[in-house]
Amino acid sequence: MQNNRLGFAVCGSFCTHKDILPQLKILKDMGYIITPIVSEIVYSTDTRFGKAEDFIKNIEDICETKCINSVKAAEPIGPKALLDVMVIAPCTGNTLGKLANGITDSSVTMAAKAHLRNERPLVIAPSTNDALGASAKNIGALMNCKNIYFVPFRQDMPNFKPNSCISDFKLIPDTVSNALQGKQLQPMIF
């Protein structure tokens, strides 16, 4: 496989972490050499969904390498052209806003900025309670950016949380394959 160096970045949205691990394993089984990247919050925060230490161990076991978890560690991704494609899953509203506005104050946003400077695909899998609210403008702005692709997403609880959307994480491998060909997997919103 050409284009086999994949960065996989993980943000908050802790309730979805269990759903991305199988996709990470599928990508590994497909032959990708995966560099795991986690936000500082993910790296250090225990939640009702599990302990940070256990989650990080799962990621590192699948990827067979240590997680990048600081701005300093993420910065060389660009100058050294370390990745062919990068995924952010889940991508929170906070991170969407930072990406849309050029803010690089976390390991994930620095990794994305560093990666995009090489004009290579960035795949975003939104998971946010305000995708159709405050984050809608950021999603729209990012949809218009070169080299940014979205994992298809939908409302997850329209009657209870009408602004909330989540990506279909099972579509991450297909979205990555399409992004490497310069194509957006469709339909993007379902």
Instruction: Show me where the domains of the chain are located.
Output: 5-179
Prior bond to 187 cis, omega within 30? Answer: yes
Q: What kind of architecture, by CATH, is found in domain 5-179?
A: 3-Layer(aba) Sandwich (3.40)
d(CA 58, CA 149): 26
Per residue of the chain (190 residues), give pLDDT as tens.
456 999 999 999 999 999 999 999 999 999 999 999 999 999 999 999 999 999 999 999 999 999 999 999 999 999 999 999 999 999 999 999 999 999 999 999 999 999 999 999 999 999 999 999 999 999 999 999 999 999 999 999 889 999 999 999 999 999 999 999 999 999 999 9
User: CA nearest 167: which of 114, 128, 133?
Assistant: 128
